[in-house]
A and B are shown apart, each in its own frame.
Chain A
Amino acid sequence: MKKQLFFLATITCLAALFVVSCFQKNGTSKKGVDKGLVSYNFDVRPILSDKCYACHGPDAKKREAGLRLDVAESAYSKLKDGKGFAILPGKPDESEVYKRITSVNPDYQMPTPESHLGLLNENEINVVRKWIEQGAKYEKHWAFTAPVLPAAPEVSDKDWPRNEIDRFVLQKMEDAGLAPNEEADKSHLLKRVALDLTGLPPTLDLQNRFAADKGEKAYEKIVDELLSQKTYGEKMAIYWLDVARYADSYGYQDDEVRTQWPWRDWLINAFNKNMRYDQFLTWQIAGDMLPNANKEQILATAFFRNHKYTEEGGVIPEEYRIEYNIDKTKTYSTGVLGLTVECAQCHDHKYDPISQEDYYRLFAFFNNSKELGFEGDISQTKLAKNPILRISDQEAKTLLTFINRPDTSSLMVSVMGDRGTLRPTHILNRGVYDAPGRVVTASALPSVMKFDTNGLPQNRMGLAKWTTSKSNPLTARVFVNQIWQEFFGRGIVKSTGDFGMQGDLPTNPALLDWLAVDFMNHGWDIKRLVKQIVTSATYRQSAKVTDEKLKVDPENIYLSRGPRYRLPAELVRDMVLSTSGLLVPKIGGPSVKPYQPKGLWEAATSGRGTLKTYQQDKNDALYRRGMYTFIKLTVPPPSMIIFDASNRDHCEIKRSKTNTPLQALVMLNDPTVLEASRVLAERLTAKSTNVETNIKESFQRIVCRQPTDKEVKLLTEYYNGEASMFAKDKKHAFKVLNVGEFPRNEKVNEVQAAALMRVINALYNMEETITKS
């Protein structure tokens, strides 16, 4: 049996390997290979970076034989031992690199067996050979060169494109011999766009209005309507909360409560106001340093203070102060620049041209913060850590009206604020706080773009200006790619958080650059970017997939079909609450504690602090959107984690999308889902006792389309079977209905309500329900 399993799995694996390798041949470099031209950036560098740079790259300390292959001068010059050249342009057979990658002698071959990097395969060897033959030309890393606006390409199908995005996409599709899908039917399209723009499924009213509107502009009208709703800001905020590792507790072992939520309210409001992205970043990076900074601008900097904070007695404060700065540096570099720089914390980066010095110069921007490494153990806890922004009742009433306060008491938020005198930043040997090396001053990564100390102050304001400069090659690209990922489930650069040398290459570089430059040229306007995406023909395609397309393009890299994937964790909850009518649509405010399996916090606690036991909320607080569920870092909300939500431990810009039996168990047994099923069943039964009407309406609310006759028949049979069972034992029906704190409707017939509840529960468990398709 085990062997059989193994076998099947391996076949799957082999098949996938086959598809991938075929795909790569027909993929990105198809044109280049046809013409015999090899691109350093797209064909060669990924190979050298992966196989060679660990020992012959940017890291000076680990460099073997004094040779680096990531820069031309070193690669071309005479080898140290005097025996020839690593790379002799035009002559692979005389290039040491080529000789070694093709050698079978373990003492001579590269990469060495000890490196565990593996030898190059035939295809890779051919690429390197061709490249050397063609002169071994080096190019600057694509992502470190500022994007220029490419012209939208000519395509043979003139009718399909609705905007520029489509021409870039179609060109790639045509190259690969694929054709776009037809437009999705209205109901699927509406569900998709409503979920993407507001995080909520379309209401019955919206469904009916859209179905009835036969006008040309029906879809655009809906898009504008959705973009203007406050729920748009909530939906957009979710992914930025992951970037900002937002949580409601301090993390570490005692894990006491903190109040960063006013910043979350700011975030939602910023998206709803359609704050320009350059301003959005500037405020969050250095709002406190703006001339006459107001409290809103200071509040924005809480972005950097959402990191964990220890309250464990006996820690060494400096160790933790450094840790918090490392976290800020990581959040900035991963979330904003799409780079992983933390390798350079301990040593020069092995793949990207980021030295340890570069790292600590970046770190220095955050190192002048007034914060302390430790403010006492949990017995001295407070809701924020210095520097603290205090918001009075008056301020919340006038300037900061977007804050949704539970009462009139003043609020505390951890924010940024610098010291008067500069704290020197040392390079820390091996990244350890108590091994300081030489002192460095603040500067942003020179390999990305020069940080001009003549024009820019060496503080966070300088960093904000550098980041939002239109010449910065990364900021806009990384952002449009993140947004693209939100809508298509996969970035144009798949490794959303790594635009460096080891990251994935863009599958459509011209499209990425066009989006980035167009975005900057139009005032970093986020809603405009979003609208461009959702109104494109690319986005509007049906998600149906044929066996053939699945074979040629399993990951939908060429976008010849619409996106189809399971909803993020928060939206699964939102779907259930909103379709049942239980959702309390309040925006913002303190986080809430809905139903949660008993004993989870109690089992994993130090026994100290106010969060040692889970005090479940009551009434309205039970029915808020998923994004408001209280996040205790050491025990994050289980149903969220089961659906792949970030645990908010650190900056995260891409969630995995798994499919597990634990998810099935949540949908089957979580009281939230059962209560929603019961409440909707009671409401519908109170309105009408016509079984078919009720089944149809539940279906349309939950699945967001009309059921087929077959589906109605199947569900009616299910209903009838359950109803006759409950009719024989009414106690059984009561037992089933007895779930959740929302008051029961005693007037409805319990047999009908319980049977309909079962049907609705089944609908919540349909794959299509929690899938955007």
Chain B
Amino acid sequence: MEKPIFEHGMNTTRRHFLSKLSLGLGSAALGSLLIPDLFKGGSGGEADVETLMAGLPHFAPKAKRVIYLFQNGAPSQLDLFDYKPMLNKMHGEDLPESIRGTQRLTGMTANQAKFPLAGSVFNFKQYGKSGAWMSELLPHMASIADDLCIIKTLNTEAINHDPALTFFQTGAQVGNRPSFGSWLSYGLGSENQNLPGFCVLLSRGKGNGQGVYSKLWTNGFLDSVHQGVQFSSGENPVLYLNDPDGMDRTQRRNMLDKVAELNQGTFNEFGDPEITAKVQQYEMAFRMQTAVPQITDMSKEPESIVKMYGPECLVPGTYAANCLLARKLSEQGVRFVQLYHQGWDSHGGLPNEIKGQCLDVDQSSAALITDLKQRGLLDETLVIWGGEFGRTNYCQGTLTKDNYGRDHHPRAFTVWMAGGGIKPGIVYGETDEFGYNIVKDPVHVHDFHATILNQLGLDHEKLVYKHQGRRYRLTDVAGKLVKGIIA
């Protein structure tokens, strides 16, 4: 009962407090380095500390960190996970209206005279103890089927990329709500004081692309310290990280010392604590300049790792390299690593495009799971793989024997999870024989969010932030735990 009162009354203070912990940017954190004596006594304060912060996390977490492998553009569940032989049998026949029901269609196929069903051209087999179906495009993922929890019944309201992607990342279709990673940074802070708590890695396949945009990793109304920090494959792994030519570490250190001394003078005159905080932020920046390049340097990875992720993992900016980097960041305590891989939006020529996309992601996605597992990290790391919606069982454009396109399908699609206290080796939820509607165990985006938060020890109804008079949650006013997938 203490918690909500605290939540309400201390909104500002709490936010500032947490913001200082998160992103590894903290003056609180730095304070501990500068004045270690503060911690030695540990007198009467401890009890109060426990009571006050008892709410965060709200209960014992199963996962400490998340790696979200977002497949941007919406991979076809019908060609990868949701095996529907009926579609092959009825290849070319019209989707029965009784199945389509009241589903809204995008402007791209709404005016099609026919909705011819398109069976997948790829072969499916069953894998693992659960007998999960997977297509021939995913041999590596198939080999770790026993680690995966395959959910076939994700569903969303949005039928266009931008709102659907925004919905998955922020819990709302309109922009400017905090991103998932920002909520975690706000709620849990960072485990590593030299790295941001929320990192974003981008890559692109050759398939039809849909853009990503920085509002997907926005802090929304939370402090901007909770914003996702985009890593890039260019010269600067983090924006403005590198010192200019001719400035070595000694010279930089010397300069920062001079600046700190000047700032001390201002502090003596004005007494504003922001001045001291500024000095500490400069120190943090200095440490990040060492910490970040160390982590993005792949040259010291052993051959076994390179073999596992595939040779592309040594090419910065590829999905494989990002998977490996995600593991390294996560291992260092980064709370939320968000990958986006573009190119899944196959409205036409799907069989060819999806092959390329799978070549990009299959091996390294599976390697990430195996790698985390061998390091004993999979238990505490939740890995998620999936897109913003699924694709239709009927063809967009011209259907031939071995070529088709698929439009957007929000009603049922597949996402998998691994680790982080999620049941391994299961398939959850069922769609009808057309793969169009859900017949068992639907998982709405809000439910999915509530469940992930739960794994991190957060009650999605209690992780709130009051902004302009309203209490906001990642799950808005909805969300039910998907108990069937929790180990």
Q: Which A residues have a C-beta under 8 Å from some C-beta of B?
A: 1-2, 4-14, 16-17, 20, 50, 113, 116-119, 121, 251-255, 308, 310, 312-317, 323, 334, 340, 343, 350-352, 374, 434, 495, 497-498, 500-503, 543-547, 550, 564-566, 597-600, 603-607, 633-636, 638-639, 641-642, 644, 647, 649-650, 656, 658-666, 668-671, 674, 708, 710-711, 714-715, 718, 721-722, 725, 732-733, 735-736, 738-739, 758, 761-763, 765-768, 771, 773
Contacts and interface: CB of A to CB of B under 8 A. Distances in A.
Nearest to A51: B8
Contacts of B106: 314-316
B210 A253 contact: yes
Given A6-B53, A597-B240, A669-B243, A606 B211 contact: yes
Contacts of A543: 270, 272
A117 B269 contact: no
A660 B16 CA distance: 12
A10 to B, nearest CB: 4
A604 B271 contact: no
Contact of A735 (B212, B235, B245, B263): B245
A598 B235 contact: yes
Contacts of B28: 5, 8-9, 12
Interface string B225-249: 1010110111110111111111100
Given A503-B468, A662-B240, A768-B266, 14 more contacts: A4-B32, A13-B10, A118-B7, A121-B9, A253-B162, A255-B213, A546-B271, A658-B224, A661-B288, A669-B244, A670-B240, A711-B262, A738-B245, A768-B262
Interface stretch (B275-283, B421-429, B441-449): B275-283
A128 to B, nearest CB: 15
B1 A12 contact: no
A313 to B, nearest CB: 6
A605 to B, nearest CB: 5
Contact of B21 (A5, A352, A641, A733): A5
B215 interface: yes
B234 A599 contact: yes
Contacts of B288: 661, 665
B161 interface: yes
Highest count of chain A CB atoms <10 Å: which of B42, B266, B273: B266
B17 interface: yes
Of the candidates A252, A662, A663, the one having the most CB atoms from chain B within 10 angstroms of its own CB is A662
B271 A547 contact: yes
Nearest to B104: A316
A660 B261 contact: no
A117 B271 contact: no
Interface centre among B42, B235, B241 (most CB of A within 10 A): B241
A32 B61 CA distance: 46
Given A310-B162, A659-B278, A714 B271 contact: no
Nearest to A334: B468
Interface stretch (B252-260, B300-308, B352-360): B252-260
Contacts of A255: 211, 213
A597 B262 CA distance: 29
A661 B246 contact: no
A647 B3 contact: no
B312 interface: no
B5 A721 contact: no
Contact of A604 (B9, B20, B202, B269): B202
Given A118-B7, A636-B214, A732-B246, A550 B271 contact: yes
Given A4-B32, A312-B162, A739-B244, A766 B266 contact: yes
Contacts of B215: 633-634, 647, 649
Contacts of B108: 313-314
B370 interface: no
A668 B285 contact: yes
A663 to B, nearest CB: 7
Nearest to A432: B157
A121 B470 CA distance: 20
B272 A564 contact: yes
A584 B352 CA distance: 52
Contacts of A642: 224, 239
A762 B46 contact: no
A767 B274 contact: yes
B293 interface: no
A662 B241 CA distance: 8
28 contacts: A5-B193, A7-B46, A17-B52, A117-B4, A310-B160, A314-B407, A315-B106, A546-B271, A597-B239, A599-B232, A600-B230, A605-B211, A607-B209, A636-B214, A639-B240, A642-B239, A656-B224, A659-B274, A659-B281, A661-B284, A662-B238, A665-B238, A666-B240, A674-B244, A708-B265, A711-B262, A732-B246, A736-B247
B7 A7 contact: no
B261 A714 contact: yes
Contact of B225 (A636, A660, A735, A765): A660
B428 to A, nearest CB: 28
Given A340-B470, A761-B255, A650 B4 contact: no
Q: Which of B21, B176, B227, B262 has the most CB of A within 10 A?
A: B262
Interface in B425-455: none
A597 B234 contact: yes
Contact of B8 (A118, A670, A710, A771): A118
Contact of A600 (B17, B232, B274, B284): B232
Contacts of A308: 175
Contacts of B3: 118
Most chain B CB within 10 A, of A323, A658, A725, is at A658
A188 to B, nearest CB: 9
A434 B225 CA distance: 38
Interface string B178-191: 00000000000001
A6 B1 contact: no
B98 interface: no
Given A343-B470, A502-B470, A598-B235, A664 B281 contact: yes
Nearest to A346: B477
B258 A502 contact: no
Contacts of B42: 7
Interface in B20-67: 20-21, 23, 25-29, 31-32, 36, 38-39, 42, 45-46, 48-49, 52-53
Contact of B224 (A117, A660, A733): A660
Given A116-B4, A634-B213, A767-B263, A13 B462 contact: no
B211 A340 contact: no
Contact of A762 (B241, B262, B285, B470): B262
